[in-house]
Structure 1
């Protein structure tokens, strides 16, 4: 039994025994009423003059006083036993609860059903719906919203595992490729082909000239 329990029982015993000491003096109780003021007092002796006397409790014999003391002592012993039994039962129950808490597995928290997880998912949907291009700043916003979802929906331990497997950003300075200036290409003019004259058809030739069907003459 713990020291605090012993001190509590001891204090009750002392207080109860203190009530047994004056039994001999309080064997008779008299009520005194002042006739002028109506003030009422109680005493185990005699009332003052001018007061009305009424016996509340008659004087007991030594045998009756001894019997009351024995009954009070027995009641005190029974009360002490009951308090000891209650203290022992409370200490046993406390030990049993402590052993049960040590043996019981730790309760896991379902972070996916938490209001923080739901709020982070909605925020990620808003960020994704507002992305209109592939800018660097928008990419950072999406990554930050995704990290918040991982933290709120996976918990601290799960988030740490995801961060270990996440690729680290490169520390080298990114190479910016500047495209060359654009110059419009002028189309090259295409020369139409020179028509080839059709061979002339001669109908008659002599030693010096040839003649076609239209009667034109050509030197031979």
Structure 2
């Protein structure tokens, strides 16, 4: 599947589908299509997973798949916020954990399931809640980014602290936790809230710049 990222303020991804290729998105994610394109809407992953996605992740239970039949076709999927689009190419056996609103569209071989944060306190205090999305399979997935994206590869034991609103996605190997702001003056007057997200490597993380990304700092484990 060939693709092209288009636009600057509220971007879109143009997917050029050959016969037999397919992309799917949530309800409302498709902007336009042309050529020999057909589509179908259904409960992707079965009833239980689809209802869980709607009730817990507040995403549509129904997904629409667009596919090219005998000839080539073009489908354009657009974002809903000013920012950028991040393309991830997942290999077989790999997975990413994403915030609930990050998913834009993906190739047919990619699956998106609801998952819960591993630690109770991370779900309670991180601002992301207990529910995230696990994206896995083999193929390309496109994520919505608020602002610009910053990708960082954490080494084993390397720690990154950031505002919860800046976290877009991270590999399943990354440990997701929260920590209390250390200094009382920062706690009272810093404007960052009482808690920061603590991400511990190894693994890749994707951040977005909309929520004061310049204040992210990387620390080494002591």
* TM tier, smaller: under 0.3
Higher fraction of helix: 1
Q: Greater relative contact order (Cα 8 A, min sep 6): structure 1 or 2?
A: 2
Instruction: Give the TM-score normalised by structure 1.
Output: 0.17
